[in-house]
Chain A
């Protein structure tokens, strides 16, 4: 499902290093960075007094004026206090420091503006939405500011070396965040829409490539048209309703996982200082994912307690295990809990092999997940610690019962979370939501062009554009996907 995104990133990453021979771009190729103006939350996510939102592109000045109306642009490169208000509704958003950097003397080389606003989620979300409503502005893609800086010669070659890695890392963070957002109703909706749209597009493409002298069934185009109309209605309804329904899942996602009865729920209760989960000596007590927002060493985090990972239990527990694995995928940090006195048992060893080892080694495409290995029940150990195991990675000893080792764990958590939350691109889910909304609106606009256009080649282009917008949310959308549907649904060729 994320292949489309990956190729996109791979292309973005490859771009500057080995420019493709496209000296003749007269044929309508969109040049990256030309024309559009991008915006993003640039400061770190976490507990902060000030958040910095940045724009880059030709409409930056216009955006700045729109939000600070009726005042004019501040003098270049000096901080001014301004009242920010929504350009459409006039609703005041925040009193903020704004900076104006006319190009080329700016970070990206383009016109840039910075808004230093108060760090609360409501303010940040309000300003981001206000910027999104200014014509010509759209949310930035991963690494786009850096790319533009490179394109305008603002970064040296050595700095560019890190570019691919940077984009990769940022995209990985975005991917995890998007996964989180897509987990649930919106995800189902988007995938459903993408499926419908891909099929409609495939049928239109089939009609173009094979309609003339192959016998496609009657009404292929009509059916695609009616599917597009239904999609328009559904998207329109959703966009009008977009502010409700999605739960805000802010903070780093910390997932507690381990084999059954390792003491995961005890650890969750200990960290959250309240009895979130039922604890019992019986394996398989926790069957669902239990979430609780906590303050971990000063960072906001969403702590998830999961079912113990084991095979062969009853159907309810198996579902719990499935959900646990799904949650692990989306985790920013995994707290892997094992029973220190039971390291040799099959379930412990299996857990070490399948969860702990891969996270440490990094998956084949190079994204390693952060993981802290906690050996619980240290109170049951004989003096001298657990059996020395040569393969065991660095770990922390803890006793949830006595509280011994908790300080060490909190210190380790602080370090890890600082890394996770300090990543400037991770951003709050708000930004992800703004992206979703942007692409859904783009999709809807393109569908409108499809229904209005008479030239079928132009109409299909609008449909491709619509599919591209959805692909930014759901992934996929490649040619092969289209061809697969064509050859599955039609008997074409002679």
Chain B
């Protein structure tokens, strides 16, 4: 997804630009840009940043190539991270020492764990995130990562050479060609170009080919991939309009307050950066029959909806909600975009009507009667590469040492992208060192479920994580992601810091100690029954769930 720039973001962009002259070379001493790296990561989104940082953590000299450094860490769609299933992914990314959980603990404005009334296996860590802070903190992190160099530039082509005979694949990637014709060589290349492959933005009947405003689409790269024989599919998604905060009448709406205390995303954060009482609330409103009417009367002005391209079933536009579930009130969450942002993100109102009709529709909604639309919602259509063309280490079958991660593989969501980014970065680095790949199985984590589903079944809609996809849901809890992945990351790969390893070890031994203390207490079943009358104690016959 793309972000049409807005005033708020402009400020952030110009601020970071200043630091950039330093930053460009800051990752790796003060030497001029080298022309040979271990790993090149193309794209600075959620997959790209995780991939680049992970490769660098593994000890590979890494180059992050992005169109514009000031868009690194941009949250281009919703101003939130986590949720049910997605929060699980974030904990696993964190367990491998990934970035997004730590950055969220420094940038959130409303932390709330979903599903608290259900079992701990399905708790969903979630937070509203300040876009500007997230970007700033992510850029600070990326630009200060040892061994990681960041450079602006559009990649036009891949440099391909003879394949290594001991691996499958018809050629091997050995570097990239930039738009200015210069070349950079590398042992592995990770492609995280998101929706950049033939991206098209749609509002009403207008279509703008490709890219963020002012940015070139990656035409050369798309051609190269096609020529190599990669199977390409097309997907669509959308984003809602943005509304001026001061034009909304919050006083008549349901208010949702954050958790107190806040639960941090990262295992190594003791607490989040902001106190619960300083956090921002969210508000809930609903659509009504008037909204249905506007949508239904104007379907002829809506090319995005008519297209046959598959959109997500679970993140539908207001148009498809109205069409598929008529005569219902649909929820609209009004979410803050940041501490000092004057924008509100109406979650649930993704729409591709012509801009003036969007504004008309918004003002039918309770609390939004006088709302001022700052930026219209829009749809995005883009190419993705059939993920059955990559291995569980995210390396392509066709081209050796070329890795794909993120939306390019047909997923949606920051967390899904980050999860693939970490795995691609780790494996790109391992490949350089000729070590066996690091694969997470379905039994070990949601990351495994995600990658296994993608690489074996493919997808024909933007793939999003749900807990119902995980067969071993009871064992894959957010709270034990460290015990599942941190030790592997530390011992097999070296992508985990000493500090995190020690913390996870301490937690593990404390848990084991606690369990052995509990196990040492033995009573007869009648005594237990007396002590805990509500517990159901089965005698003799083993429970089908006992192994869990």
Task: Please give the residue numbers on chain A whose beta carbons come within 8 Å of chain B beta carbons, in ascending order.
Answer: 20-22, 24-25, 27-30, 135, 205, 208-215, 442, 445-446, 449, 452, 455-458, 460-462, 464-465, 479, 482-483, 486-487, 491-494
Contacts and interface: CB of A to CB of B under 8 A. Distances in A.
A33 to B, nearest CB: 14
B548 interface: yes
B114 A213 contact: yes
B441 A20 contact: yes
B120 interface: yes
A207 to B, nearest CB: 8
Contact of A457 (B121, B328, B444): B121
Contacts of A457: 118-122, 473-474
A493 B316 contact: yes
A457 to B, nearest CB: 3
8 contacts: A22-B441, A27-B476, A209-B466, A212-B114, A457-B121, A457-B473, A483-B313, A494-B348
A208 B484 contact: no
B468 A213 contact: no
B161 interface: no
Query: Which of A445, A457, A483 has the most B CB atoms < 10 Å from its CB?
Result: A457
A424 B292 CA distance: 64
Chief secondary structure at chain B's binding surface: loop
Contacts of A212: 84, 114-115, 124
Interface in B307-335: 312-316, 321, 324-325, 328-331, 333
A208 B468 CA distance: 8
B544 A449 contact: yes
Given A20-B441, A24-B488, A27-B444, A479 B468 contact: yes
A29 B441 CA distance: 11
B474 A461 contact: yes
Contact of B472 (A27, A209, A491): A27
A210 B471 CA distance: 18
B218 interface: no
Can you list the 6 inter-chain pairs with the closest CB atoms, starting with the nearest?
Answer: A457-B119, A455-B119, A493-B314, A27-B475, A205-B468, A491-B325
A494 B333 contact: yes
A28 B325 contact: no
A450 to B, nearest CB: 10
A494 B347 contact: yes
A456 B544 contact: no
A386 to B, nearest CB: 49
B117 to A, nearest CB: 8
B498 to A, nearest CB: 21
B539 interface: no
A455 B543 contact: no
A205 B84 CA distance: 12
Given A135-B541, A209-B466, A458-B474, A214 B313 contact: no
Given A212-B84, A213-B114, A21 B441 contact: yes
Contacts of A22: 441, 443-444
B272 to A, nearest CB: 20
Given A28-B474, A209-B467, A491 B124 contact: no
B545 interface: yes
Interface of B: 84-85, 114-115, 117-122, 124, 312-316, 321, 324-325, 328-331, 333, 347-348, 350, 439, 441, 443-444, 466-469, 471-476, 484, 488, 536, 540-541, 543-545, 547-548
Given A20-B441, A483-B466, A208 B122 contact: yes
Query: Which of B120, B122, B328, B348 has the most A CB atoms < 10 Å from its CB?
Result: B122
A286 B277 CA distance: 83
Contacts of B115: 208, 211-212
Nearest to A486: B468
Contacts of B315: 493-494
Given A27-B475, A455-B119, A483 B331 contact: no
Query: Which of A21, A482, A493 has the most B CB atoms < 10 Å from its CB?
Result: A493
Given A212-B124, A461-B473, 15 more contacts: A22-B441, A22-B443, A27-B472, A27-B484, A28-B475, A29-B475, A215-B329, A215-B330, A445-B544, A456-B119, A462-B545, A486-B468, A491-B324, A494-B333, A494-B348
Contacts of B540: 135
A493 B312 contact: yes
Contacts of A445: 544
Contacts of A460: 473
B120 A215 contact: no
Query: Which of A27, A205, A449, A487 has the most B CB atoms < 10 Å from its CB?
Result: A27
Nearest to B282: A213
A25 B443 contact: yes
B544 A209 contact: no
B333 A28 contact: no
Contacts of A492: 314
Contacts of B121: 457-458
A209 B468 contact: yes
A478 to B, nearest CB: 10
Contacts of B331: 213-215, 494
A205 B471 CA distance: 12
A82 B326 CA distance: 71
Nearest to B485: A24
A204 to B, nearest CB: 9
Given A28-B472, A461-B548, A456 B488 contact: no
A336 B439 CA distance: 52
A13 to B, nearest CB: 15
Given A29-B472, A461-B545, A487-B314, A456 B84 contact: no
Contacts of A493: 312-316
Contacts of A462: 544-545
Contacts of A20: 441
Contacts of B330: 215, 491
A453 to B, nearest CB: 8
Contact of A482 (B117, B441, B468, B488): B468
A448 to B, nearest CB: 10
B544 A442 contact: yes
A446 B544 contact: yes
Query: Which of B85, B119, B467, B488 has the most A CB atoms < 10 Å from its CB?
Result: B119
Nearest to B126: A213
B439 A21 contact: yes
A234 to B, nearest CB: 20
Contacts of B122: 208-209, 456-457
A479 B443 CA distance: 15
B469 A479 contact: yes
Contacts of B329: 215
Nearest to B123: A457
Contacts of A482: 468
B118 A456 contact: yes
Given A20-B441, A209-B467, A212-B84, A455 B118 contact: yes
Query: Which of B119, B468, B473 has the most A CB atoms < 10 Å from its CB?
Result: B468
Contacts of A28: 472, 474-475, 547-548
Nearest to B480: A27
A483 B460 CA distance: 14
Contacts of B328: 491
Contacts of B536: 452
A427 to B, nearest CB: 26
B366 to A, nearest CB: 15
A130 B440 CA distance: 43
A483 B468 contact: yes
Contacts of A30: 547
A449 B312 CA distance: 34
Contacts of B484: 24, 27
Nearest to B457: A480
Contacts of A455: 118-119
Contacts of A24: 444, 484, 488
A445 B312 CA distance: 37
A465 B547 contact: no
A284 to B, nearest CB: 45
B84 A209 contact: yes
A211 B466 CA distance: 12
